[in-house]
Amino acid sequence: MPKISSSLVDTEWVAENLNDNSVVVLDTSVPPVVPGYVPINTEDNFSVIPGARRFDYDGVVCKPNSSLPHMMPTAELFQEEVRKLGVSSDSTIIVYDDVGLYASPRAWWMFRAMGHEKVAVLNGGLPKWISEGRGSVDAYAEVALGNFVANLDENLFCDFEVVLKALDDPSCEILDARSKARFKGEAPEPRPGVRGGHMPNAKNLPFPQVLDGGELKSIVELEEVFANLVEKNQKIVTSCGSGITACILTLAATVAGYKNLSVYDGSWSEWGLPSKLPVVTD
């Protein structure tokens, strides 16, 4: 059974282990809302890594009937849906997306939150796989039911009440993955009716700053990025527009050696709604 030593794997590792029955490859793509991030797949040109299954956390593996996008589901729903994808408790899960490194870190963190440690992100995703001339197919694999068991750790995703308490807690830093212009309220939010600005005392770390194109920056570079913002003994709570790119920061922090991490699930799509939750622009 192949082992993963990090939360990241490269295309060579996937190619070498693709035919291992214990390895499950999941396409976790979500249409990007951030300017400049374009998926390689289109309606006329669609491809997936051979054997991949579709993990749709935007419309299937998410909290049903929520007013907020792709919120974390219950452990019961998560377990039921990933079993349909042939995922078992002993599976080694590789998640990727069709932008490079955009939507896949959230899927990685979801599995971690459900108690599964053997999960990693494909660095560079489908674009790198295709650019290297590796094989692809135009349909997802049909698979038998898995036996995955979900055990939710509620600390890995948090709600606005936890964030509210953390704003004045010196042992915690809130990192916002949105652009500097959105953070300062100088650019409009993509969701109607959402206020501009940021949480008091939050720090801005636009997610492209931890990336090198469609891949994560090196460990040394990431250590430098986070050392300027957070102490190693502090807790990091990440936030963004809707809980997707926050997970890029969480992945980067993990690779940089940080351990006490949580993602604000509702992120700005919740906090920015008209309410008494504090918003500042300075």
Domain extent listing, the chain: 8-131, 157-271
Range 8-131 classified under CATH 3.40.250.10: yes
Band (pLDDT 50/70/90 cuts) for residue 1 is low
pLDDT in tens, 212-270: 999 999 999 999 999 999 999 999 999 999 999 999 999 999 999 999 999 999 999 99
Query: Using CA atoms, how far apart are residues 155 and 28, in angstroms rounded to an integer?
Result: 23
- Does position 108 have pLDDT exceeding 80, yes or no? yes
Same fold, 8-131 and 157-271: yes
9-22: pLDDT as tens digits: 999 999 999 999 99
Q: What topology is assigned to 157-271 in CATH? A: Oxidized Rhodanese; domain 1 (3.40.250)
**How many residues are given for the chain?**
282
- Using CA atoms, how far apart are residues 206 and 184, in angstroms rounded to an integer? 12
Whether 247 is catalytic is: no
Q: Which of 62, 158, 172, 240 is catalytic?
A: 240
**Largest distance between two CA atoms of the chain:** 53
